[in-house]
Structure 1
């Protein structure tokens, strides 16, 4: 089950920055009503309109508009994370209970390499799964919520990158269209803290295996931020802070659920 945890951790903490890195390497032409392409028309352009509309209500405060939209989108996606986390924890509990039985079956056929023996082992393994009501394909189905979130998050990312009005405004101490070293440092720190928060509850062995990710993820964010307008590290910082809070909340919910399961 550590392998499954490692894979889930990588999906959340490595693939997202990697996708943003690839996205940052692509052309960022201004988005407008006549932009061609399904994704531009139905994801990027609507988000761009939302950003401009909310900024207009806030006296052209594009920084605050992006913060509000980022939090709103993350709140809207939270039920997907809650369902995914709950499903992952339930599957893990079932696998933990099943693990001794699976190990016994595998040891039983350890020295039997014939085709018939291997088929018999697979039949016994499937019976064990069925007895504990486990679907081996359930972990793959658990990726669906993540896949469904990608168009929304990437669409919003591109809307920020391709809305030219944003670059003409400032927020707090920085210009949204210029690079900002302080905000880059903040984004790096946020992603490092997010990495640490995601490690809560992991075994020492898994933490050691994932140590390199704690360097790569913030480093990728830092490199992109140093070569991007400040509006992007602003978005990543706000999104990262939200994810830290969400992770801590989910851990507490799980801890409370585990406590309630204990016999009095």
Structure 2
């Protein structure tokens, strides 16, 4: 029962944060895929070419007419965005998107936009990890004990009477106690990471440093789809293609890593898993299907989105992979001793 409630609560929280995030933010991209000029968050006064931003979908009609008179290579001046301006648009803009975008801008001013995204993502993940370390360890253990959970569920899968359900719940609770897991404690990770993830999504599209910036000479406003169309020509753009492909690979690696580490531990400890647990595992199959579907959905959507988003997702996946390895090989071993 606890496991069932845990799964349902995860879904409920996901829906709540998605709805809150969507209601708290307007779409920063115009119909041409470029960031609307009035949605750009700047830390200092900057000038950007009109052709690199969207001016036709902004809400201020007076500004729209003024900008539309400019030639595509003429410069538009963007003033610094204050916290007061951001919070007046929505609570989500002010409390989450604005700080992250400004963090990217500040880091990018020292180096470039790509390094700005890397450093901002790394700092945010370190802060989140500091507050959710125990929850992340429990979350990883939850994934690693999945075979034992499947064994219990398979044991009672054809028994629908109240006694069997109670016995299954008791065995599941013993399993959680054995590995020191509080299923509801793992919700803290979801509770914190989801709004930050959505905030980072909007910040990478709205931070001024990303809108007009680049990484290793690669404009972060380019799209993977545009880069793919250049392959085979003399001016092939390999940078966005490589970032996009690595993003998909590391996304899959970060999701599969806990399972691979569990298999490695079982092999090291000479633990053999019964065949019926491997083959007759509807929950495991559902999780795999969800994982591959979500990765495919992200890969499809990011084809037409600025490469900055693929780059952010790549950096996040690499950091998640490193965190998983750190928890497994360092923190979990320390707790055992």
Q: TM-score range by the shorter chain?
A: 0.5 to 0.7
Contact 2:105 2:208 in 1 (8 A): no
* Separation in 2, partners of 1:210, 1:190: 18
Give 1:209 shift. 4.5
Asked if residue 49 in structure 1 is aligned to residue 113 in structure 2, the reply is no
In the other structure, the counterpart of 2:123 is 72
Give 1:208 shift. 4.5
Q: Which has the higher contact order (CA 8 A, sep 6+)?
A: 1
* Separation in 2, partners of 1:173, 1:57: 16
Structure 1: 5+ residue runs without aligned partners?
A: none
Structure 2: 5+ residue runs without aligned partners?
A: 29-35, 42-80, 224-239, 264-272
In the other structure, the counterpart of 1:191 is 251
* Separation in 1, partners of 2:327, 2:198: 24
SS state of the match for residue 210, structure 1? helix
* Separation in 2, partners of 1:172, 1:133: 50
Which of residues 146, 151, 156 in structure 1 aligns to 2:190? 146
* Separation in 1, partners of 2:27, 2:201: 13
* Separation in 2, partners of 1:176, 1:159: 13
What is the aligned-residue RMSD (CA, Å)? 4.5
Q: TM-score, normalised by structure 1?
A: 0.67
List aligned pairs for 1:110-189, cutoff 5 A: 138-179=182-223, 180-189=240-249
Contact 2:204 2:308 in 1 (8 A): yes
In the other structure, the counterpart of 1:235 is 312
Which of residues 245, 249, 252 in structure 1 aligns to 2:329? 252
Give 1:146 shift. 1.8
Q: TM-score, normalised by structure 2?
A: 0.54
Contact 1:192 1:217 in 2 (8 A): no
Contact 1:174 1:230 in 2 (8 A): no
* Separation in 2, partners of 1:165, 1:256: 41
Give 1:85 shift. 3.7
Give 1:79 shift. 3.1
Asked if residue 62 in structure 1 is aligned to residue 122 in structure 2, the reply is no
